[in-house]
């Protein structure tokens, strides 16, 4: 290794590659020894290691999804219902939302509302037996909110479930 490195001109691409490999090796070694160092020394080692990847953790979601691309987010005993980002993308720009009236009751897999877009009409299904307790009235003025914020401001209805939600996915 040393013979190979000492025989390379400093400006050659091979020399630069060797330098990068050496830096990566030092970063890996420093990461292992950083845990055994004092906190301030460990922080110093982490700041100079350019090849170290940030640690990512899985963020658990409050959303549950149906196979037909509806989502449910529970707020106490009331479920907020909308369509997934994938579904709104497939549907295209929503131009009209035909939402149910408050107090309407639906069986699981029954059509809860329809969304009309420039491409098609999409049906939104009740994920379980439920009763509508609130409707997103902002969608009557601005139905494209379903596209711009399908999992936030573009929610469709709030419902009280009386059926089983165990078929929903995380």
Strand 78-83 to 157-161 pairing:
antiparallel
| pLDDT at residue 95, as a whole number | 96
Least confident window among 37-46, 74-83, 96-105, 108-117: 37-46
Percent of residues in the chain assigned helix, strand, coil, to nearest 5: 30, 25, 40
CB 61 within 8 A of CB 170: yes
- Cα distance from N-terminal residue to C-terminal residue, the chain: 51
Give yes or no for residue 70 having a pLDDT over 60: yes
Cα separation of 42 and 63, whole Å?
38
pLDDT in tens, 52-69: 555 554 456 788 999 999
pTM of the model: 0.64
């Amino acid at each position: 290794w040393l013979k190979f490195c000492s025989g390379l001109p400093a400006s050659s691409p091979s020399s630069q590659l060797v330098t990068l490999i050496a830096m990566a090796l030092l970063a890996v070694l420093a990461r292992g020894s950083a845990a055994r160092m004092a906190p301030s020394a460990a922080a110093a080692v982490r700041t100079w290691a350019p090849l170290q990847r940030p640690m990512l953790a899985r963020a658990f979601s409050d959303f549950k999804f149906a196979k037909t691309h509806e989502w449910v987010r529970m707020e106490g005993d009331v479920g907020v219902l909308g369509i997934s980002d994938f579904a709104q993308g497939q549907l295209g720009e929503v131009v009209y939302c035909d939402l149910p009236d408050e107090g309407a009751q639906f069986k699981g897999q029954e059509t809860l509302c329809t969304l009309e877009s420039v491409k098609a009409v999409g049906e939104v299904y009740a994920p379980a037996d439920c009763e509508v307790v609130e409707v997103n009235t902002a969608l009557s003025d601005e139905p494209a909110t379903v596209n711009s914020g399908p999992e936030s401001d573009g929610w469709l209805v709030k419902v009280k479930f009386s059926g089983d939600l165990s078929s929903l996915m995380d």
